[in-house]
Amino acid sequence: MKHIHFIGIGGTGLSAIARVLLERGYTVSGSDREASPLFNAISKAGALTFLGHAADQINGAELVIRSSAIPEDNPEVTAARALGIPVLKRSDFLEELTRHKKTLAVAGTHGKTTTTAMLVWILDQLNLKPSFILGGLVNQLNCNAQAGSGPYFVIEADEYDKMFLGLSPKIAVITNIEHDHPDCFPTPVIYQDAFKAFLKKVRPDGCALICCDDPGARRLMEEMISEDIKLWGYGSHTETNYQAKDIVYTNGTP
C-alpha cells in the first residue's frame, strides 16, 4: 500500500499523519474545505491537495483516512466505498502507523501538547531520532510531526472520539483528568471509563505514568490498581514513585 488519501487533510491530526507517511515514502493526497496553514504546509511538503471534496479526487488511492468531522455521505467517502477502497478514521489507522515502534502516548485533559513536545525534545537531544505526532509545533524543530529513524514514536493521545483507543503504547502518560467533551462523554463517569480503557491498551511489557497531583488522575490510578498493569505515580507528593523536588519558579512558572 503506497497511496493514501486523507479527507480533512488540513486538520491538526490528519496533517500530522500525512507528514509522517510522506517522510516514509508514501504517496499522499488529500482534500479539505479551506486552505488552512496546515493544509498549505502539507502541500509544500509534497502531498497532492484539493480544495473541496469530489469523487474523482481519490483516484489511485489504496486507502482513505477521514476526519471524524467528515460525514458518511461525503462524495469521496461514497466513491471509495463504491470502489471497495477501505475507509478508516484516524483512530483505526494509529495501530498500523506506530507498528514496530515503542510508542509513548501522552493523554490527559490538559497539558498533552506541552508534555509531548517536552518528551520529543528530550529524545531528540539524546540523538534517539524519535517519530512524533502532536497537536502543536515543537518550537525547536518547527514542525508538529516527523518520521524519525529511532525506536520511539511519541504521540499526543487525544481522547476525543476515543482516538487514543487506537493505540497500544509501550508507555502511557496521563497528565490529569477533568470531564471534557460532553458531546462524546456525557458524564464524568463515562469520561473516566474511556481513560480506564486506554490504560488497558498498554502493552503487557509496558507501563503507565500517572500524575498523582491531579485528583482525577489519582482516582483513576486507585481504581486501576487491581488491574494487571504496571502503574507508576509521579508528582510532588512524597508517596509517588517519582517525586519532583527542588522546583524553581520563574515568573510563576516552574
| pLDDT for residue 189 | 96
Last residue of a domain, one of 42, 67, 94: 94
The verdict on 216 and 144 lying in the same domain is: yes
Region 162-190: what's the mean pLDDT? 96
Give percent of the chain above pLDDT 90: 85
pLDDT at 127: 97
Q: How confident is residue 122, by pLDDT bands cut at 50, 70 and 90?
A: very high
Report the percent of the chain where pLDDT is more than 70: 100
Of 89, 103, 156, 175, the active-site residue reads 156
Query: Is 90 exceeded by the pLDDT of residue 187?
Result: yes
Could you say which of 94, 129, 148 is where a domain stops? 94
pLDDT of residue 226: 86
Residues 52 and 171 occupy one common structural domain: no
Position 252 in a domain: no
Note whether residue 52 is domain-resident. Answer: yes
| pLDDT (0 to 100) of residue 253 | 80
Query: Do 171 and 218 fall within a single domain?
Result: yes
Q: Could you identify the residue written with the cell 475507509?
A: 87
Between 245 and 210, name the one with better pLDDT.
Answer: 210
Q: For residue 141, is pLDDT > 90?
A: no
Q: SS3 string of the chain?
A: CCEEEEECCCCHHHHHHHHHHHHCCCEEEEEECCCCHHHHHHHHHCCEEEECCCHHHHCCCCEEEECCCCCCCCHHHHHHHHCCCCEEEHHHHHHHHCCCCEEEEEECCCCHHHHHHHHHHHHHHCCCCCEEEEEEEECCCCEEEECCCCCEEEEECCCHHHHHHHCCCCEEEECCCCCCCCCCCCCHHHHHHHHHHHHCCCCCCCEEEEECCCHHHHHHHHHHCCCCCCEEEEECCCCCCEECCCCCCECCEC
| One domain, residues 128 and 12 | no
Domain's final residue, options 62, 94, 126: 94
Question: What mean pLDDT do residues 75-94 have?
Answer: 96
- Spot the catalytic one: 12, 113, 116, 175: 113
Residue 158: predicted pLDDT: 94
Q: Are residues 113 and 218 in the same domain?
A: yes
Cα–Cα distance for residue pair 75/243, rounded to 1 Å: 53
Tell whether 165 is covered by a domain. Answer: yes
Q: What's the rounded mean pLDDT across residues 6-35?
A: 96
The mean per-residue pLDDT over the stretch 92-103 comes to 93
Q: What CATH number does the domain containing 65 carry?
A: 3.40.50.720
Note whether 81 and 185 are same-domain residues.
no
Give the pLDDT confidence score for residue 138 in this predicted structure: 78
* Domain membership flag for residue 249: no
212: domain CATH number is 3.40.1190.10
Active site residue 112: yes
Which residue out of 89, 112, 170, 201 is catalytically annotated?
Answer: 112
Q: Is the pLDDT of residue 137 over 80?
A: no
85 contacts 61 by C-beta, under 8 angstroms: yes
Within a domain: 251: no
248 assigned to some structural domain: no
What per-residue confidence (pLDDT) applies to 251?
Answer: 87
Tell me whether residue 113 is one of the annotated catalytic residues: yes
Residue 99, pLDDT above cutoff 80: yes
Average pLDDT, the chain: 94
Answer whether 208's CB lies under 8 Å from 170's CB. Answer: no
Q: Kindly state whether residue 254 falls inside one of the protein's structural domains.
A: no
What is the span of the domain harbouring residue 45? 3-94
Q: What's residue 139's pLDDT? A: 78
Half-sphere exposure of 124 (CA within 13 A, CB side): 17
Instruction: Please tell me whether residues 88 and 111 are part of one structural domain.
Output: no
Say whether both 67 and 185 belong to one domain: no
Domain count, the chain: 2
Q: Answer yes or no: do 162 and 64 share one domain.
A: no
- The pLDDT, as a whole number, for residue 199 is 98
pLDDT greater than 90 at residue 136: no
Q: Tell whether 65 and 24 lie within a shared domain.
A: yes
pLDDT band at 35 (very low <50, low <70, confident <90, very high): very high
Residue 205 has pLDDT above 90, yes or no: yes
Q: pLDDT value at position 254?
A: 78
What are all long-range contacts of 141-148, with beta carbons under 8 Å and residues at least 24 apart? 143/19, 144/12, 144/15, 144/16, 144/19, 144/38, 145/15, 145/16, 145/17, 145/19, 145/20, 146/19, 146/20, 146/23, 147/19, 147/20, 147/21, 147/23, 147/24
Alpha-carbon distance 83 to 196, whole Å?
38
Task: Provide the pLDDT for residue 239.
Answer: 82
- 219 in the same domain as 135: yes
- Does residue 19 sit in the same domain as residue 60? yes
Q: Is residue 250 part of a domain?
A: no
